[in-house]
A and B are shown apart, each in its own frame.
Chain A
Amino acid sequence: MASLDIQARSATTTPSPGVRDYPDVAKLIDISKCIGCKACQVACMEWNDLRDVVGENTGSYQNPPDLDAKSWTLMRFYEVEPEPNRLEWLIRKDGCMHCADPGCLAACPSPGAIVKYSNGIVDFNQEHCIGCGYCITGCPFDIPRISQTDHKAYKCSLCSDRVAVGLEPACVKTCPTGAITFGSKPDMIDYAVDRVRDLQGRGFKNAALYDPPGVGGTHVMYVLQHADRPELYGLPQDPTISPLVELWKGVAKPVAIGVMAAVGLTALFHYITRGPNAVSKEIEEDEERKAKEEQQV
């Protein structure tokens, strides 16, 4: 993606370029066709060259147990009984929703660490990330994770590098049952209408598309059998950006950025007057040992 494609940029007041007009893309995840095979998890690891640790089973099919800096997508498994004596095993591919109104971007204090492209993809630029974790607070879906090793935030990029050259995201390409599809957002909505009709014909009266308006709609959408109860899938009923973030964005952010700048200047002053901070050898070794232990866990 080039700078011309950037529609919004974190902590930046200069307007974004506006000459290029891209159609919104969207990934549609049809939970009624998902078999929880985790091929999408592997595709994500392969394309992004990520290998998480070999952990332990914690009493669930869900592995790794949660999203983290090296696992950007995850199948979540829910055993539910929407009505008595009717067991369902709902399996949801979790990952960034790529909100049209991204809370992470609104919350981010570091210029350019989070961008939104004109096709709707929300992407993290880790070289600008300061590891403050505000994106986590800003996200109504609990997606970004801070790496314990480099203290930067990570999440699904919707394979912005693949999409930029006309390819579908890796998870879409690998999905064996066609549960994940990708295209322009209007096309995906059209397709979802068909799928919803099929599900309603099979007795799922409340089947519908999940494209929550509270965040301006999303570029990752779900077809849900029980759209009236998204909490069955671990999804928020009506996600919005936290009022704290709104407050932060409106009033506090310029002030806070000023404070941070002041801290930076102080540090520079400190550096010039006293020289670089030296970490004692003991502390360094201790930290390294902790990091290693964390990795092993």
Chain B
Amino acid sequence: MTNHWVDIKNADVIIIMGGNAAEAHPCGFKWVTEAKQHRGATLIVVDPRFNRSAAVADVYAPIRSGSDIAFLGGVINYMLSNDKIHHEYVRNFTNAAYLVRPDFGFEDGLFTGYNADTRKYDRDTWDYQLGEDGYVQIDDSMQHPRCVLQLIKRHYSRYTPEVVSKVCGTPQEDFLKVADLIASTSTPDRVMTIMYALGWTQHTTGSQNIRSMAMIQLLLGNIGRVGGGVNALRGHSNVQGITDMNLVTNVLPGYMKLASDDEQDFQAYLDARSPKPLRPNQISYWQNFPNFWVSLSKAFYGDAANQYNNFRYDWFPKLDQPYDVLHMFERMYQGQMNGFISQGFNPLAAVPCVQKVREGLSKLKYLVVIDPLATETSEFWADMGDYNEASPSEIQTEVFRLPSTCFAEETGSYTNSGRVLQWHWKAADPPGEAKPDTDIIAGIFYTLRRLYEDEGGTFPEPVVNLSWEYGHPMEPAPEDLAKEFSGRALADVADAGDPPVILAKAGEQLSGFGQLRADGSTACGNWLYCGAWSEGGNLMARRDTSDPSGLGFYPDWGYAWPANRRVLYNRANCDMQGRPWDPTRATIHWNGSKWVGNDVPDIKATAAPAEDVGPFIMHPDGVGHLFALKSMAEGPLPEHYEPFETPLPANPMHPDNPLALNNPATRIFAYDREQLGTADKFPYVATTYRLTEHYHYWTKNVLANSILQPSQFVELGQELAAEKGIKDGDQVKVMSNRGYIRAVAVVTKRLKQLDVDGRKVHTVGIPIHWGFIGVAQKGFLANRLTPFVGDANAQTPEFKAFLVNVEKIVPTAQA
């Protein structure tokens, strides 16, 4: 979230799209009800299903799953055509006025630089025009034909209300009602917030779904605003934490990009990630990358990393190929993997195409599962009839199950969606021999290190030299780990003043990432979390409920990264003179000599408004990117592409270009392309989702949850059910080209048949949550149906839009 949970109460318009907050985030949803009750806020829900969020919404609009960019592109067009943008904000805080290279273009669904063989773009032309001074060229009037605003106007002019309705199946009047409400927040006194989740990410166009809304929010002047922002609702209490610590394969903690194989030179690696400002006076905060990276290396390797050995840059992995989860399971399926450690992860249930995953796991020599529960993954080999068609006698994989603690059985920190780190305390002892994950990892580490020390091996240095300075090395205390990720001074840290002032003495905890140094005098496990455990103690454990602003910031409750800042880009909450756009929702303001107020300024405190320092300090140009430059795989402007399994024969936006049917930059493996189904055999759009009664595949182990939602069902619209002769409560079989599930039919008015490009499109709703382990009724893993293909940028699988067929199961005499 750019903002935070409580801040939702400050919004005038709330849109839930690509998520179902009432259902999946019922506790956070209270802030929606607060905004409605106390601010008179309007709630909009756009979703293929009339869901539990829609049940309490003021406006609901149906949409075909997988067509969000067309809808949002239509909103952009509506705003620009009706002059509903926040001009001063757009001119000063976005790249709307920036000029783009003349050779950049878009034709027939493809941007310049496409290579159909590699399915990749050469992104060179997706760039600004630079002047001789090295800065971007700008046209403040925003009239220049190559300025971003004009490019956007042209690009989205195709997304008329008629086209939106044709692509999305949304009735035009519903679309216009939503567009008008969104556009109503282009004035400084009205703010909109967006709440989204996996309904946007789990598409092959996932990242661009979100970017489309980010563009809308920039055009409306709603980012950095109290009650605004772009807010991702995270599914697990600590999934924001896992992202920040970057337990993904291509980044280091704090979103520091890992080197690729061709980046063997340390200085070049640092330089490439420390961009110089592209406009005068801009902060370009990533210029601090060397401070963060070196401090991380010091936390990893202690004294073994120093300036004479490039802080052991050579010991850090360099990416030779992608290692995302789809790639990982493709390699496993190809038999290129010996072992797999599955920690807090149930891939048999969570990765698409269960059949492929099971076959991959069957080719392993060993599988280690670290989890508080017995997972389907740990029993992937078991013969469970058609719930899991495995032949144990043919599977040689040795499976080790290491029971770990669950959240209430351990102490530590959570980071919530609003970036607030909150300490929690152990409430109960774990059962049996279960241990905290950290103890299990410590045990594995000690054994591996001993083996490397005793027997050598390929490249033992990164393991044998790892710094492991914890009070109890075999049971690292959460407190020790937290102090490590927060960071400490290894030598005295001074400021750059004359005479220098000592900011932190050697051995002290640091109070913020401004104190991190690239000379090896600081160690910090995650620069974003720096200061969470300062000399003032564990700030994550703070529980002060005072709220001086009355806006719900609670500055002394926990610790928000970065720097305890509650709203990111908060400079943009003020006009060009440094006065809040809306005085009733003020955070910081310029008091004549510095920025002060209710929040920690997201700008240099002494940067006077006249200096024109942009609010988006992480960007080299200091502004929000309507035009994304080279940062996205499939283009600098979101464009509608069909899901990889689409009910349509062509992309209605580009009917004559088969290359532009689906996301042109999406990677898909040969086997998985063969497994794609077509609309002639699988005519219905399916989407998977969560129910409020359950959490993923965990709570089917809990009696209370299982009583509330005992057995597997699918949702069918009344029209489809009537066509198929299916009645409420009938058993049905749902099939994709990859597999089938059986479930009870819930026949509903809430799933409407949509008119899409001249066809009737039905949606089949498939809640996940069931499996073959637990106290709930046994069921089928929903991912038996889903395609093994992901977003072109993040590789998040396309769980939200694929094709199925449905048939009624006629009970046999014996049943």
| A positions within 8 Å CB-CB of B | 32-39, 41-42, 45-46, 51-61, 63-64, 71, 79, 81, 87-91, 176-179, 195, 198, 201-202
Chain A nearest CB from B29 CB (Å) reads 6
| Complex Cα spacing A179 to B185, Å | 28
| Complex Cα spacing A63 to B708, Å | 5
Instruction: Name the contact of B750 in the complex, choosing from A59, A79, A90 (C-beta under 8 A).
Output: A79
Q: List 5 A-B contacts (CB under 8 A).
A: A35-B52, A54-B775, A58-B744, A64-B707, A198-B40
- The verdict on A54 contacting B23 (CB below 8 Å), with A35-B56, A36-B52, A81-B749 known, is no
Is B273 interfacial (CB-CB < 8 Å)?
no
| Complex Cα spacing A34 to B727, Å | 28
| Complex Cα spacing A89 to B730, Å | 22
| Complex Cα spacing A41 to B707, Å | 10
Which residues on the A side are within 8 Å of B729 (C-beta)? 57-59
Chain B nearest CB from A200 CB (Å) reads 12
- The verdict on A37 contacting B746 (CB below 8 Å), with A176-B30, A201-B40 known, is no
- The verdict on A56 contacting B29 (CB below 8 Å), with A35-B23, A79-B750, A89-B54 known, is no
Chain A nearest CB from B574 CB (Å) reads 32
List the one stretch of B117-125, B528-536, B592-600, B709-717 in contact with chain A. B709-717
Instruction: Name the contact of B692 in the complex, choosing from A38, A57, A60, A198 (C-beta under 8 A).
Output: A38
| Complex Cα spacing A58 to B746, Å | 8
| Complex Cα spacing A79 to B752, Å | 13
Instruction: Determine if A202 and B745 form an interchain contact, defined as CB atoms under 8 angstroms apart.
Output: no
Is B776 interfacial (CB-CB < 8 Å)?
yes
Instruction: Determine if A57 and B55 form an interchain contact, defined as CB atoms under 8 angstroms apart.
Output: no
Closest to B707 in A: A52
- The verdict on A59 contacting B744 (CB below 8 Å), with A54-B777, A89-B50 known, is yes
| Complex Cα spacing A57 to B767, Å | 13
Which residues on the A side are within 8 Å of B692 (C-beta)? 35-38
Closest to B718 in A: A79
Instruction: Name the contact of B706 in the complex, choosing from A54, A59, A198 (C-beta under 8 A).
Output: A54
Instruction: Determine if B747 and A56 form an interchain contact, defined as CB atoms under 8 angstroms apart.
Output: no
Closest to B31 in A: A177
The interface bits of chain B over 722-753 (1 if a CB of A lies within 8 angstroms of the residue's CB, else 0) are 00000111100000000000001111111000
- The verdict on A35 contacting B29 (CB below 8 Å), with A79-B749, A87-B50 known, is yes
Instruction: Determine if A177 and B29 form an interchain contact, defined as CB atoms under 8 angstroms apart.
Output: yes
Near A by CB (< 8 A), chain B positions 676-726 give 692-693, 703-713
Is B334 interfacial (CB-CB < 8 Å)?
no
Which residues on the A side are within 8 Å of B23 (C-beta)? 35, 37
Instruction: Determine if B713 and A57 form an interchain contact, defined as CB atoms under 8 angstroms apart.
Output: yes
| Complex Cα spacing A162 to B664, Å | 61
Instruction: Determine if A37 and B50 form an interchain contact, defined as CB atoms under 8 angstroms apart.
Output: no
- The verdict on A79 contacting B707 (CB below 8 Å), with A87-B50, A88-B55, A198-B37 known, is no
Known: A39-B26, A87-B750. 17 other contacts (CB 8 A): A37-B22, A37-B23, A37-B52, A37-B693, A54-B777, A55-B707, A57-B744, A61-B746, A63-B707, A63-B709, A71-B707, A79-B749, A89-B52, A176-B29, A177-B29, A201-B40, A202-B58
| Complex Cα spacing A286 to B337, Å | 58
Which residues on the A side are within 8 Å of B775 (C-beta)? 54
| Complex Cα spacing A38 to B23, Å | 10
Instruction: Determine if A57 and B712 form an interchain contact, defined as CB atoms under 8 angstroms apart.
Output: yes
| Complex Cα spacing A90 to B33, Å | 16
Instruction: Determine if B749 and A178 form an interchain contact, defined as CB atoms under 8 angstroms apart.
Output: no
Instruction: Determine if B704 and A51 form an interchain contact, defined as CB atoms under 8 angstroms apart.
Output: yes
The interface bits of chain B over 749-784 (1 if a CB of A lies within 8 angstroms of the residue's CB, else 0) are 110000000000000000000000001110000000
- The verdict on A56 contacting B55 (CB below 8 Å), with A36-B692, A37-B22, A87-B50 known, is no
Instruction: Determine if B747 and A46 form an interchain contact, defined as CB atoms under 8 angstroms apart.
Output: no
Instruction: Name the contact of A54 in the complex, choosing from B33, B703, B748 (C-beta under 8 A).
Output: B703
| B positions within 8 Å CB-CB of A | 22-23, 26-27, 29-30, 32-34, 36-37, 40, 50, 52-56, 58, 60, 692-693, 703-713, 727-730, 744-750, 775-777
Residue in B29, B710, B711, B776 with the greatest tally of chain A CB atoms within 10 Å? B710
Instruction: Determine if B708 and A178 form an interchain contact, defined as CB atoms under 8 angstroms apart.
Output: no
Chain B nearest CB from A234 CB (Å) reads 15
Closest to B27 in A: A176
Instruction: Determine if B744 and A32 form an interchain contact, defined as CB atoms under 8 angstroms apart.
Output: no
Closest to A201 in B: B40
Instruction: Name the contact of B703 in the complex, choosing from A51, A64, A177, A202 (C-beta under 8 A).
Output: A51
Instruction: Determine if A36 and B746 form an interchain contact, defined as CB atoms under 8 angstroms apart.
Output: no
Closest to A91 in B: B55
Chain A nearest CB from B650 CB (Å) reads 31
Which residues on the B side are within 8 Å of A32 (C-beta)? 56
- The verdict on A38 contacting B708 (CB below 8 Å), with A33-B33, A198-B37 known, is yes
Chain B nearest CB from A130 CB (Å) reads 29
| Complex Cα spacing A36 to B53, Å | 10
Instruction: Determine if B750 and A45 form an interchain contact, defined as CB atoms under 8 angstroms apart.
Output: no
Closest to A53 in B: B707
Chain B nearest CB from A284 CB (Å) reads 30
Instruction: Name the contact of B749 in the complex, choosing from A37, A54, A87 (C-beta under 8 A).
Output: A87
Chain A nearest CB from B34 CB (Å) reads 8
| Complex Cα spacing A195 to B30, Å | 16
Which residues on the B side are within 8 Å of A37 (C-beta)? 22-23, 26, 52, 692-693
| Complex Cα spacing A64 to B704, Å | 11
| Complex Cα spacing A139 to B692, Å | 32
Instruction: Name the contact of B56 in the complex, choosing from A34, A51, A57, A81 (C-beta under 8 A).
Output: A34
* Nearest 3 pairs of A and B residues by beta carbon: A59-B729, A59-B728, A35-B22
Instruction: Determine if A177 and B30 form an interchain contact, defined as CB atoms under 8 angstroms apart.
Output: yes
Instruction: Determine if B744 and A56 form an interchain contact, defined as CB atoms under 8 angstroms apart.
Output: yes
| Complex Cα spacing A201 to B23, Å | 26
Which residues on the B side are within 8 Å of A79 (C-beta)? 748-750
Residue in A34, A89, A179 with the greatest tally of chain B CB atoms within 10 Å? A89
Which residues on the B side are within 8 Å of A195 (C-beta)? 37
| Complex Cα spacing A36 to B34, Å | 17
Instruction: Determine if B710 and A177 form an interchain contact, defined as CB atoms under 8 angstroms apart.
Output: no
| Complex Cα spacing A41 to B744, Å | 23
Which residues on the A side are within 8 Å of B33 (C-beta)? 33, 177-179
| Complex Cα spacing A178 to B27, Å | 10
Which residues on the B side are within 8 Å of A61 (C-beta)? 709, 746
| Complex Cα spacing A255 to B508, Å | 87
- The verdict on A51 contacting B707 (CB below 8 Å), with A34-B56, A60-B728, A89-B54 known, is yes
| Complex Cα spacing A60 to B729, Å | 8
Chain B nearest CB from A183 CB (Å) reads 16
Instruction: Determine if A45 and B56 form an interchain contact, defined as CB atoms under 8 angstroms apart.
Output: no
| Complex Cα spacing A51 to B708, Å | 10
- The verdict on A35 contacting B711 (CB below 8 Å), with A51-B704, A87-B749 known, is no
Which residues on the B side are within 8 Å of A87 (C-beta)? 50, 60, 749-750
Residue in B34, B56, B712, B727 with the greatest tally of chain A CB atoms within 10 Å? B56
| Complex Cα spacing A212 to B711, Å | 37
Instruction: Determine if A33 and B56 form an interchain contact, defined as CB atoms under 8 angstroms apart.
Output: yes
| Complex Cα spacing A234 to B37, Å | 26
| Complex Cα spacing A87 to B752, Å | 11
- The verdict on A35 contacting B26 (CB below 8 Å), with A46-B704, A54-B776, A177-B33 known, is yes
Instruction: Name the contact of A57 in the complex, choosing from B704, B710, B749 (C-beta under 8 A).
Output: B710
Chain A nearest CB from B71 CB (Å) reads 19
Chain B nearest CB from A56 CB (Å) reads 5
Closest to A81 in B: B749
| Complex Cα spacing A200 to B728, Å | 34
| Complex Cα spacing A45 to B707, Å | 10
Chain A nearest CB from B58 CB (Å) reads 6
| Complex Cα spacing A176 to B745, Å | 29
Instruction: Determine if A63 and B710 form an interchain contact, defined as CB atoms under 8 angstroms apart.
Output: yes
| Complex Cα spacing A179 to B708, Å | 19
Instruction: Determine if A56 and B56 form an interchain contact, defined as CB atoms under 8 angstroms apart.
Output: no
Which residues on the B side are within 8 Å of A41 (C-beta)? 708
Which residues on the A side are within 8 Å of B728 (C-beta)? 58-60
| Complex Cα spacing A32 to B54, Å | 11
Which residues on the B side are within 8 Å of A59 (C-beta)? 713, 727-730, 744-747
Which residues on the A side are within 8 Å of B748 (C-beta)? 79
